[in-house]
Amino acid sequence: MLKIENLSVELSKNEIISGLNLEVLKNEVVGVIAPNGTGKTTLFRSIATLINHSRGSITINNFKVTKERVNYLKQFFYFESAESLYQNLTVNEHLFYVKEVWKSDISVETIIDKLKMREYAKKRIKNLSLGMKQHLIIAMYLVSDCPVLIFDEPLNGLDPSSVSIMIKVMKEIQTEGKIILISSHDLYNIEQICSRVVFMNEKKIVYDTENLGNLNLLYKQIFEKGGLL
Ligand SMILES: Nc1ncnc2c1ncn2[C@@H]1O[C@H](COP(=O)(O)OP(=O)(O)OP(=O)(O)O)[C@@H](O)[C@H]1O
């Protein structure tokens, strides 16, 4: 379980997150929805320990970052953006690197086929499109076989066929008892991918639902009409 309690985060002395609570269970794919600049990336970076929090606690599978940092770091896979991939390494090289670092038994070849990456597996990152790089990040997570995937905007740059592959892969990951936390502005596809969504507003989670029937309407009610609650 990923458990965030009373989290507050400051950046340059501005409180970006304040008293945020969120629990995500195994087998859940949770989408974080909010307008630009609300703090989704800040939340993800805090979970990933790239930013310190000023108050509250984050626990993954009972490991607290403040107490058992090494075990905590083994619980999640977070790749900040496609820009952080190594430009001169190939797709294959990235995947074998992850396999080595995570000491994983997952077959790189199987993952390449699953994500239909065979055609560009030997290409260097600098020669890939954004969509191909997004596939690679998911493939790296699958090879790592770690319990939690945190992915900011996984649908960026994906064409409709790639989105379908992504939806299928996310559903498979979900049935394997993992946790996925993603953000996206693509409400239609969030509905297809997620089992639950949470809306962020005014520095915390303000709405949490498994009823994904009409996210567009909910979005308008929360952000355009002065709030639901
Ligand atoms: N290094 C920083 N120093 C100060 N403020 C920052 C820093 N990084 C981000 N912010 C501010 O924190 C707030 C939240 O930014 P964040 O990137 O987390 O939002 P977001 O919800 O992920 O936005 P988007 O949907 O545009 O990706 C914004 O007001 C932003 O200006």
Asked if 177 contacts 27 with a C-beta cutoff of 8 angstroms, the reply is yes
Instruction: Give the range among 39-48, 85-94, 161-170 with minimum mean pLDDT.
Output: 161-170
Q: Name all residues whose Cβ lies below 6 A of ligand 1.
A: 11-12, 14, 16, 34, 36-42
Percent of the chain with pLDDT strictly greater than 90: 76
Q: Indicate if 68 and 152 belong to the same structural domain.
A: yes
Amino acid at 140: M
> Given this model, what pLDDT does residue 46 score?
97
Indicate which residue's Cα is closest to atom 31 of ligand 1. Answer: 37
The number of distinct structural domains making up the chain is: 2
Q: Indicate if 7 and 66 belong to the same structural domain.
A: yes
Is the pLDDT at 39 greater than 60? The verdict is yes
Is the pLDDT at 105 greater than 90? The verdict is yes
Q: Indicate if 151 and 40 belong to the same structural domain.
A: yes
Report the nearest atom of ligand 1 relative to the CA of 153: 27
Joined tokens for residue 178 = 């993992």
Region 5-26: what's the mean pLDDT?
96
Q: Indicate if 28 and 123 belong to the same structural domain.
A: no
Amino acid at 125: I
Asked if 99 contacts 143 with a C-beta cutoff of 8 angstroms, the reply is yes
Q: How many helices (H) and strands (E) does the chain have?
A: 8, 10
> Given this model, what pLDDT does residue 77 score?
95
Asked if 73 contacts 82 with a C-beta cutoff of 8 angstroms, the reply is no
Rounded to two decimals, the ipTM of the complex is: 0.96
Q: Indicate if 228 and 152 belong to the same structural domain.
A: yes
Region 169-185: what's the mean pLDDT?
91
Q: Indicate if 45 and 137 belong to the same structural domain.
A: no
Q: Indicate if 170 and 152 belong to the same structural domain.
A: yes
Q: Indicate if 132 and 119 belong to the same structural domain.
A: yes
Probe ligand 1: pick from 15, 42, 201, max atoms within 8 Å of CB?
42
| pLDDT-based confidence at residue 228 (cuts at 50, 70, 90) | low
Q: Indicate if 100 and 137 belong to the same structural domain.
A: yes
Q: Domain range for residue 31?
A: 1-75+147-229
Report the nearest atom of ligand 1 relative to the CA of 185: 25
Whichever domain contains 13, its CATH number is 3.40.50.300
CA 28 to chain centre: 12
> Given this model, what pLDDT does residue 227 score?
55
Region 63-71: what's the mean pLDDT?
90
> Given this model, what pLDDT does residue 98 score?
97
Q: Indicate if 130 and 70 belong to the same structural domain.
A: no
Alpha carbons 196 and 173: distance in angstroms, whole number: 15
Pick the last residue of a domain from 128, 144, 160: 144
Taking the centre of ligand 1 as the mean of its atom positions, its distance from the CA of residue 228, in whole angstroms, is 24
Region 119-145: what's the mean pLDDT?
94
| pLDDT-based confidence at residue 225 (cuts at 50, 70, 90) | low
Radius of gyration of the chain from Cα atoms? 17
Q: Indicate if 36 and 66 belong to the same structural domain.
A: yes
Q: Indicate if 94 and 122 belong to the same structural domain.
A: yes
| pLDDT-based confidence at residue 81 (cuts at 50, 70, 90) | confident
Give exposure, 36-75, as e/b (b: 16+ Cβ within 10 Å).
Answer: eebbbbbbbbbbbbebebeebebbbbebebeeeeeebebb
Alpha carbons 155 and 33: distance in angstroms, whole number: 13
Burial class (CB in 10 A: 0-12, 13-18, 19+), 83: exposed
Three-state secondary-structure class, residue 194: coil
> Given this model, what pLDDT does residue 66 score?
83
Alpha carbons 119 and 14: distance in angstroms, whole number: 46
**Average pLDDT in the chain:** 93
